[in-house]
């Protein structure tokens, strides 16, 4: 297998004033599964295409193992790609689709047949080898696309939003299959998605991009608990972190009409003035008194094992209840609250995060 290294790698499209990928520094370990995640246009797919050789590297370098691949054509990079649209040949059956790259490489028929059978067994596709893609479900077609990559036995897998065409239930089952398969094969993998739930559940590490810049790369748990900035905090997590304007006071940080207590060391690090306060939905609870953030319920989502309460801070209800909520709270589904109910929200001890109001950088104690 191989490591992958982006070293100050940049891509600038012709006639563009902004770099699509701006000095990307990222190292993927041998056998590691790394997910690139971010909003549309952030540069994640361009980064993957640069590694594949489908986009040139205008500045910096990309290494596979110890070899600089900037000038290597895609076929010489020993990579295999899986696309979101499957890219299967409709006139070929499953076995022919899976073995096509080996046929082009002039492998023997027996070698092709052996590798196809091995991949089909791994992917539970043995009974479908004679079928055409049009006779398969979306999940089966995606497994065929995976099989086509597996039979090549590459050093690196590249996956570009491979689950985006599947329905929600099939996405959940297929992402677990891909994760298990990658661990079994031990192939270095770069996976691109805009879905942060996919990123958090699949990646050994997750790299968050915005506007061509890599903002943070870390294991999923630390991304969630210790985001480096307000963008990562708001992007990672479902539902998203609540980000509220706050003002530092002698007693803590004021959010709306409420003053939230923060530790002395965090208060000293924050200094004075304005900050952005980050509160996870599970960091809030409905209080039995008026000591907290006063709010009005705008929506309740019952999801069976849990519920989410959407609310506006009381001072913002002049926007009307159809305006975007200020707060999302994860609650026990047995808690009885309804639309237009007035509630008070208490922040759990030491759960608030503070970010610089201008730069967005996290303020650490």
- Domain range annotation of the chain: 4-235, 242-363
- Model pLDDT, residue 62: 97
CATH of the domain spanning 242-363: 2.40.50.140
Mean of the pLDDT values across residues 162-183? Answer: 84
The SS3 assignment for 327 reads strand
When the candidates are 3.10.20.30, 3.40.50.300, 3.90.79.10, 3.30.9.10, the CATH number that belongs to 4-235 is 3.40.50.300
- Model pLDDT, residue 1: 66
- Model pLDDT, residue 122: 85
- pLDDT at residue 350 above 70? yes
Cα–Cα nearest to 95, from 67, 63, 73, 127: 127
- Model pLDDT, residue 135: 92
9-31 burial: b if 16+ Cβ within 10 Å, else e: bbbbeeeeeebbbbebebebeeb
- pLDDT at residue 36 above 80? yes
**With contact defined as beta carbons under 8 Å apart, do 185 and 150 qualify?**
yes
Residue 238, Ramachandran bin (φ over 0: left; ψ between -120 and 50: alpha; else beta): beta
- Identical topology for domains 4-235 and 242-363: no
- Model pLDDT, residue 323: 66
> Per-residue confidence at 121, pLDDT binned at 50, 70, 90?
confident
The lowest-confidence range among 51-60, 67-76, 97-106, 199-208 is 97-106
The lowest-confidence range among 4-8, 204-208, 261-265 is 261-265
Mean of the pLDDT values across residues 9-23? Answer: 94
Q: Decide which of 153 and 229 is more confident.
A: 229
> Per-residue confidence at 228, pLDDT binned at 50, 70, 90?
very high
- Model pLDDT, residue 321: 62
- pLDDT at residue 191 above 90? yes
Q: Decide which of 357 and 289 is more confident.
A: 357
- Model pLDDT, residue 357: 93
- Model pLDDT, residue 23: 97
- pLDDT at residue 76 above 80? yes
Model pLDDT for residues 316-326, shown as the tens digit of each residue:
777 666 667 88
- Model pLDDT, residue 317: 74
Q: Would you tell me how many other CB atoms lie within 10 Å of the CB of residue 201?
A: 15
**With contact defined as beta carbons under 8 Å apart, do 251 and 223 qualify?**
no
- Model pLDDT, residue 283: 94
- pLDDT at residue 101 above 90? no
- pLDDT at residue 190 above 90? yes
CA angle (175 as vertex; 305, 154 as ends), nearest 5? 160
- Model pLDDT, residue 349: 87
- Model pLDDT, residue 320: 64
Mean of the pLDDT values across residues 219-228? Answer: 95
What is the average pLDDT score of the chain? 91
């Amino acid at each position: 297998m191989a490591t992958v290294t982006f070293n100050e790698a940049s891509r600038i499209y012709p006639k563009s004033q902004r770099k699509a990928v701006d000095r990307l520094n990222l190292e993927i370990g041998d056998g590691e599964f790394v997910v690139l995640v971010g909003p549309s246009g952030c540069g994640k797919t361009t980064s993957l295409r640069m590694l594949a050789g489908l986009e040139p590297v205008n500045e910096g370098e990309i290494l596979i193992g110890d070899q600089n691949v900037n000038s290597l054509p895609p076929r010489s990079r020993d990579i295999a790609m899986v696309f979101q649209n499957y890219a299967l040949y409709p006139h070929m059956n499953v076995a022919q689709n899976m073995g096509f790259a080996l046929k082009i490489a002039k492998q023997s028929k027996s070698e092709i047949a052996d590798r196809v059978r091995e991949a089909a067994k791994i992917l539970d596709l043995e009974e479908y080898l004679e079928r055409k893609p049009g006779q398969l479900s979306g999940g089966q077609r995606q497994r065929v696309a995976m099989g086509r990559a597996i039979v090549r036995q590459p050093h690196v897998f590249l996956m570009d939003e491979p689950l985006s065409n599947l329905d929600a239930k099939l996405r959940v089952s297929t992402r677990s299959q891909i994760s298990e398969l990658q661990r079994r094969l031990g192939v270095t993998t770069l996976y691109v998605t805009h879905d942060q739930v996919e990123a958090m559940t699949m990646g050994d590490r997750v790299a968050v991009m915005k506007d061509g810049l890599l903002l943070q790369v870390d294991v999923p748990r630390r991304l969630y608990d210790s985001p480096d900035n307000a963008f990562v905090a708001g992007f990672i997590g479902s539902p998203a972190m609540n980000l509220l304007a706050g003002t530092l006071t002698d007693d803590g940080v004021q959010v709306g009409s409420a003053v939230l207590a923060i530790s002395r060391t965090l208060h000293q690090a924050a200094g004075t003035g304005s900050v952005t306060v980050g509160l996870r939905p599970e960091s809030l609870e409905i209080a039995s008194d008026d000591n907290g953030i006063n709010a009005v319920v705008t929506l309740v989502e019952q999801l069976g094992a849990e519920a989410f309460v959407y609310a506006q801070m009381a001072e913002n209800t002049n926007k009307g209840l159809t305006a975007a909520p200020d707060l999302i709270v994860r609650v026990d589904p047995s808690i009885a609250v309804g639309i237009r109910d007035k509630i008070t929200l208490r922040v759990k001890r030491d759960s608030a995060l503070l970010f610089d109001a201008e730069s967005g950088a996290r303020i650490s104690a």
